[in-house]
Amino acid sequence: MAEPASVTVTFDDVALYFSEQEWEILEKWQKQMYKQEMKTNYETLDSLGYAFSKPDLITWMEQGRMLLISEQGCLDKTRRTTSPPTDEQLNMKNTGKLLCFDDEGTPRTKEEDCRLNGPQKQDLCAALRGKERKILLAQTATFQSPSLRETEILNKKVSITAYDPDKKDLRHKPRETPGRLEIPTGPRCYSCYVCRKVFQVRRDLLKHKRSHSKSQLCRYPKYKNSSRGKSELRRTQRLLCQKKRFQCSECEKSYFLKGSLVTHQVVHTGQRPYPCPECDKTFRYRANLKKHLCLHRGERPFCCGECGRAFVQQCELTEHLRLHSGEKPFQCPQCDRCFRLKRGMKVHLTQHSGKRPFHCPECGRSFSRKAALKTHQRTHSEEKPFSCGECGRKFIYKIKLDEHIRVHTGEKPFSCPECNKSFRLKRSLKAHGLQHIGKRPFQCPECSRGFFWRNAMRAHQRLHSEQKPFPCAECGKRFTRPSKLACHTRVHDRQKEFPCGECKKTFSQQSRLTQHLKVHTTEKPFSCAECGRSFRRRAHLTEHTRLHSGEEPFQCPECDKSFSWKASMKFHQRMHRDEKPFACGECDKTYTHQSQLTEHLRLHSGEKPYQCPECEKTFRLKGNLKSHLLQHSGQKPFSCVMCGKSFTQQYRLTEHIRVHSGEKPFQCPECDKSYCIRGSLKVHLYKHSGERPFQCPECGKGFLQKRSLKAHLCLHSGERPFSCDECGRSFTYVGALKTHIAVHAKEKPSSL
């Protein structure tokens, strides 16, 4: 078999080259189209079997280098081969004559016998028919000025059409000049002749053209001499002149197509004709139903290459990719602010216009978005559609649920760049950042006290004005904060809706009941790795581990004192501010916390609500009962690492450690005498004031300490509560018993 004759066609015959000046003129989309066209030319030549090495131009494209050429000869050759056709040439094309070029670029018609010599023409045509393709070229753009000529080198239309031997009259005529072969581009693109935007789908181009006004057409006169430009121009004019004939009778909105009007009218009728077979949910549009069904099937076909996140729709992936690229293509025409999402820009535009078309029928408040109105209406209906899967607590807003879930997971995604401290809420991080710079932006005009939050300052101002804008509907009592009112209403609301099946205790919230049930189940899934102690909540375990590590992450900005718990720091800060908002109505004594006032009121009422189940002894404070129960059990869980002495309470151990360290933090302001225990300082201050607060009801004698009064009362009653185990002798004072026991200890060695 004879070897096929080869046709000398090189890549340079179908390539375009630019100087640096010309390359800078090109727009970004033109450069991309140029690269795609050159790559397609190379692949087409390679598929036709032409033997040549990979051109430098393709190598430069793969390496990302600038596609420039400095040789003036090659540049002139490229310009000559890409020069636009004359009017005569266009007329030949329009009359159906085959337009060809010779080696010098001179045009000739089919009658002038444009052909390859000998078998080369037959082999080339056979190769083209084998691919069922004809490589065609249509150059229709005309250049009005030298500046446009360089920019529009890429605007020629290169296309591949299927070869049909039965059709002799082709729309675009082949160029059969030897040594010249124009190679087509890849997928066909549709370009808008008004703004030069390119589309891959023709219907997208038609939809896009409606956005142009008629006045824009006169800005582009360079297409008036092009036959293709004229047809596109006329088509665009028809679209722009076409009226939106189909108008909605409800809202007077107009549409180009009747189908669009029918689709729109479903909004007014409220019909949802497309039900979901899985969950009976209904939708207005079939497209929304298809998207919803993907959720049931778990289909998320569009995956992000950066983070692996998957989406149901392509548009969702496109919006997500802007997070990685930082692209914000939607710009506000008023203030030039850019947005990642179009709906974000629409919401922003309402701020400039001031329009709030959506009004709440309950309170008259207006909103710029319908979604914001729907969310607001939940506050009136008390609808809480977002519930926590852990504790059952419900929320009006999804963002509040997301913040609440972090309480269970312990997640703190917002980290301070200064000290690496993490926070659960973004607003907490912002407030923390102000501590580093020492700025308190909200200042009280009465006392000049600064606050990190505006709400905290407003609540503080009510203390000065004695304003209490939140009244109780049951008893009329007023409060400064809505949270205080909410706590108070629970006193009246005895109709607890959530009872415990184990102990019959009732709760006002499902979340409180869920948390309480863990007491009965004794489920404590979170264990300490140091001591093995278990906890019901992760947050409690986190707080407990600070005892072992000694971590004190909460620092007072006033005195730099650190605390293990945030509540302890807040309690401490009130000492600096000398803030004691809770006053006793009997003796006018004030306290920093409501719980302290409640405990104090029991002194006046004599109430002791906490009873020991072992000896039925009652106590005023719950902490005192817990300490008393340890005496029955004999447990002393708090041990000194220095001497091994154990205590029933943590604060007793803290006081004992000061004996070893010699620390005496409590100083008398009168005589500068210091003490390691606060109670000792209080007793000492009574000596300066001459006050004896504990008086005997029998004889009126006063005492500095309560235990001294108790011992004195035993004299009146004759009670001797302290007895010796050796001889059974009883004593009024514990000190007398200790002295007596020492006597027995001295007698034992002498008897031996």
Percent of the chain having pLDDT more than 90? 0
150 band by pLDDT with thresholds 50, 70 and 90: very low
Q: How far is CA 91 from CA 86, 139, 171, 226, 227, in A?
A: 9, 13, 13, 11, 10
Instruction: Return the pLDDT at 195.
Output: 60
Which of 272, 299, 296, 298 lies closest to 286 in space, CA to CA?
A: 272
Distance of CA 544 to the CA centre of its chain: 30
Quote the pTM value: 0.32
Q: What is the mean pLDDT of residues 267-289?
A: 84
Which of 58, 103, 100 lies closest to 80 in space, CA to CA?
A: 103
pLDDT at 344 over 50: yes
Cβ–Cβ < 8 Å for 223, 230: yes
Higher pLDDT pick, 106 / 496: 496
pLDDT at 578 over 80: no
448 band by pLDDT with thresholds 50, 70 and 90: confident
Give SS3 for 556.
coil
Which of 553, 560, 568, 565 lies closest to 419 in space, CA to CA?
A: 553
pLDDT at 573 over 80: no
Which residues partner with 159 through β-bridges? 136
pLDDT tens digit string along 62-74? 766 555 543 433 4
pLDDT at 640 over 50: yes
508 band by pLDDT with thresholds 50, 70 and 90: low
Cβ–Cβ < 8 Å for 528, 410: no
Instruction: Return the pLDDT at 6.
Output: 44
**How many residues would you count in the chain?**
752
In the chain, the N- to C-terminal Cα span, in Å, equals 133
Residue with tokens 């001294």: 708
CA distance 321 to 299: 19
Q: What is the mean pLDDT of residues 350-374?
A: 83
Give the CA-trace dihedral at 38, 43, 47, 48, to 10 degrees. Answer: 10
Instruction: Return the pLDDT at 96.
Output: 34
Of 178-182, 202-206, 507-511, the range with the lowest mean pLDDT is 178-182
Residue with tokens 């974000």: 344
CA distance 155 to 719: 114
CA distance 517 to 510: 11
Which residues partner with 526 through β-bridges? 535
Instruction: Return the pLDDT at 90.
Output: 35
Percent of the chain having pLDDT more than 70? 70
If 0-12 CB within 10 Å is exposed, 13-18 middle and 19+ buried, where does residue 253 land?
Answer: middle
Of 188-202, 224-238, 536-550, 678-692, the range with the lowest mean pLDDT is 224-238
Which of 218, 226, 191, 228 lies closest to 206 in space, CA to CA?
A: 191
Instruction: Return the pLDDT at 8.
Output: 54
- According to DSSP, the β-strands at 554-555 and 107-108 are unpaired
- Provide the mean pLDDT of the chain: 71
pLDDT at 434 over 60: yes
Q: What is the DSSP string of 422-470?
A: EESSHHHHHHHHHHHHT---EE-TTT--EESSHHHHHHHHHHHHT---E
CA distance 327 to 319: 9
CB environment 529-551: b (16+ within 10 A), e (fewer) = eeeeeebbbeeebeebeeeeeee
CA distance 183 to 434: 65
Cβ–Cβ < 8 Å for 690, 708: no
CA distance 462 to 480: 6
Of 13-22, 365-374, 394-403, 604-613, the range with the lowest mean pLDDT is 13-22
122 band by pLDDT with thresholds 50, 70 and 90: very low
CA distance 146 to 739: 119
CA distance 256 to 240: 11
CA distance 591 to 570: 14
Greatest mean pLDDT among 23-27, 162-166, 232-236, 738-742 lies in 738-742
pLDDT at 403 over 80: yes
Q: Where are the alpha helices (DSSP H) in 242-369?
A: 258-269, 286-297, 314-325, 342-353
CA distance 619 to 625: 6
Q: What is the mean pLDDT of residues 290-296?
A: 84
CA distance 114 to 18: 30
Q: What is the mean pLDDT of residues 681-709?
A: 87
Give the CA-trace dihedral at 369, 373, 376, 381, to 10 degrees. Answer: -160
CA distance 128 to 184: 13
Which residues partner with 411 through β-bridges? none
Who's near 166: CB < 8 A, 6+ residues apart? Answer: none
CA distance 261 to 259: 5
